[in-house]
Structure 1
């Protein structure tokens, strides 16, 4: 029973296409991320939205600067998602308008530039984004045509929605710690830490479910009892009619997998049996996950706005992914190499 995250256990969707090799993140500017907000500030309201470009800093470090140096109360700071330290990233923060005069202090935070500031009527909250645009240099990559073939396949069938390595902690050990909490119901640490560790176990089980469906030829299919997601609207529904299979092949809908918890739509019949198969590997039961709410997550996500540029340094790859997905899941397909999480990555970045 292996509860340590090991990316090599998860199959590639494009296993029949050779990868381009290479390396990423050798320099921060090699990995560029731009947050795409769910909405833009209206120009009025009591919350000041800040578009910040940062390099060499985690989102948490910027958050702490706003709290400790600018003087914004922690609960009043808004952020939609976390972004990596080893990258050049652009993301939105929100603070109360009453702290506007102290923004000049941002000049003291090395590695941060204020690009835009505008007012809005509500605080920015986690998940208030459409997704992220990426521009990534794969240094030393060879084979533009190979990369293009892989990207065309991913655009047609969707990117496997595996959780990335930053979800699982140093050495991939967090799911094991989460398992001990689920089985014993107690352990050291804050309630937040316990939820986080159980979340890592949920993520490992989800990745196993994605891999199982890939191996069974059910990646771009829906079967009776699946809960499917409509990619255009985000709506979910129980699959009962056989004609839904055609919509799945067109990437209009996708099967969703479980993040086990106390309240989430449960699969039925044949689809539920696949989820049970994953649970049995680890001697787990659904009712042991009552510490988490639970949810469903699509097996794949659409690949949009992709582009390739060959340079002497390697291949520049640009693309958009919706929120909750990981660029590492796409990069491993293109490179045919496991993309590790460097020290300083935050759980949920790219998400």
Structure 2
């Protein structure tokens, strides 16, 4: 592993964009209610079973804080509380949390400022990380220089072509500190001993390399095309296959039927080969890394693009409201960056849906 001096602070300007439409500019998160996130469950609840699901709405709290308070006040062990993903503190968010049903009589007494239990329902299993279909975002953009029509034109292109599935700035910490310490962990230079913290920090490095790989594809006109060596994923079935004939498979990518994936490096995720492998090695070399540096991680594959659903733009007096649904593990900031053409949430505050999908990679 080569120690290169690189700037690890997250900057949208360092990552290639997709759309050429004018940016609207504008301001986000003037108030918590300007950024709303609604969790979309992965499956319907049965109404019976040994687990009680709480549908909560929260404002001004991280999900982790609500889980700690719920565990302490109900007397439930931390490991017996289930959650599908983490939600932003600087927003109004709704999500499901599960606890053993035998603690149900204590739920009615649970009270925390900024948190409401909207409903409860029983189910057969504990809610697990990643057990959600996605998230519905409703975001108010204030003081926009561009019009709602401009925002709608960009959103329509994203619906048709897909959104670059970048990890948002929330993954990397303030000024890239998570990624910096993650590199030290991989190099054996970190003094941190907590294995969970070490895993979390190296996740930032996996994400950093993925973002660079995706940016290279956009720079070279490969966003909605495939090259030899790609591991492509079918959007309808989830099946993954090796691309041997790029000319034959690229039309399917152009139609949005399949997309390339990038490697979240680890022992279970083999590096790409062929032309795709060359791109991947170039991304790794930017940070002086090799696949072997991630031997302690499990590894995974991540789609290079996702398609927003239920997308719309509503004009407002001082800007517009944009709404869309994304699959789990995807960041709303990737959509907002394309529409606004600004360094959206670059400081790394908040977490659209941090923790969903690839956290265990």
Is residue 166 of structure 2 the alignment partner of residue 132 of structure 1? no
Given that 1:76 and 1:95 are in contact with CA atoms closer than 8 Å, whether structure 2 keeps it comes out as: yes
Q: Tell me the distance in 1 between the aligned counterparts of 2:261 and 2:37.
A: 26
Give SS of 2:49's match.
Answer: coil
Deviation string, structure 1 residues 231-256 (Cα, Å, up to 9, x no partner) = 12222111123321111001111100
User: What's 1:66 paired with?
Assistant: 70
Q: Tell me the distance in 2 between the aligned counterparts of 1:175 and 1:189.
A: 17
Q: Tell me the distance in 1 between the aligned counterparts of 2:340 and 2:346.
A: 15
Given that 2:185 and 2:202 are in contact with CA atoms closer than 8 Å, whether structure 1 keeps it comes out as: yes
Is residue 92 of structure 2 the alignment partner of residue 83 of structure 1? no
TM-superposed deviation, 1:263: 1.2
- What is the aligned counterpart of 2:225 among 206, 221, 225? 221
Is residue 125 of structure 2 the alignment partner of residue 122 of structure 1? yes
Given that 2:170 and 2:349 are in contact with CA atoms closer than 8 Å, whether structure 1 keeps it comes out as: no
Give SS of 2:74's match.
Answer: coil
- What is the aligned counterpart of 1:110 among 113, 122, 145? 113
Q: Tell me the distance in 2 between the aligned counterparts of 1:70 and 1:118.
A: 17
Deviation string, structure 1 residues 3-40 (Cα, Å, up to 9, x no partner) = 413322012111x2111111111100000110000012
Q: Tell me the distance in 1 between the aligned counterparts of 2:347 and 2:101.
A: 36
User: What's 2:261 paired with?
Assistant: 256
For the aligned residue pairs, the C-alpha RMSD in angstroms reads: 1.6
- What is the aligned counterpart of 1:320 among 317, 325, 333? 325
Is residue 342 of structure 2 the alignment partner of residue 337 of structure 1? yes
- What is the aligned counterpart of 2:96 among 92, 104, 128? 92
TM-superposed deviation, 1:265: 3.7
Unpaired segments of 5 or more residues in structure 1? none
1:342–1:45 CA distance, 2 compared to 1 (3 A)? farther
Q: Tell me the distance in 2 between the aligned counterparts of 1:292 and 1:337.
A: 33
Question: Normalized against structure 1, the TM-score is what?
Answer: 0.96
Give SS of 1:345's match.
Answer: coil
- What is the aligned counterpart of 1:206 among 201, 207, 210? 210
Q: Tell me the distance in 2 between the aligned counterparts of 1:293 and 1:302.
A: 27
Matched residues, number = 349
Given that 1:167 and 1:348 are in contact with CA atoms closer than 8 Å, whether structure 2 keeps it comes out as: no
User: What's 1:180 paired with?
Assistant: 184
1:342–1:102 CA distance, 2 compared to 1 (3 A)? farther
Is residue 22 of structure 2 the alignment partner of residue 22 of structure 1? no
Give SS of 2:29's match.
Answer: coil
Unpaired segments of 5 or more residues in structure 2? 357-361
Given that 1:46 and 1:121 are in contact with CA atoms closer than 8 Å, whether structure 2 keeps it comes out as: yes
Q: Tell me the distance in 1 between the aligned counterparts of 2:81 and 2:291.
A: 35
Q: Tell me the distance in 2 between the aligned counterparts of 1:262 and 1:57.
A: 36
1:206–1:344 CA distance, 2 compared to 1 (3 A)? closer
Q: Tell me the distance in 2 between the aligned counterparts of 1:87 and 1:189.
A: 33
Q: Tell me the distance in 2 between the aligned counterparts of 1:222 and 1:296.
A: 16
**Where do 4+ consecutive residues of structure 1 move more than 3 Å?**
341-344
Question: Normalized against structure 2, the TM-score is what?
Answer: 0.93
Given that 2:88 and 2:353 are in contact with CA atoms closer than 8 Å, whether structure 1 keeps it comes out as: no
Q: Tell me the distance in 2 between the aligned counterparts of 1:42 and 1:131.
A: 20
Give SS of 1:69's match.
Answer: helix
- Of the structure 1 ranges 140-149 and 288-297, higher mean CA displacement relative to structure 2 is found in 140-149
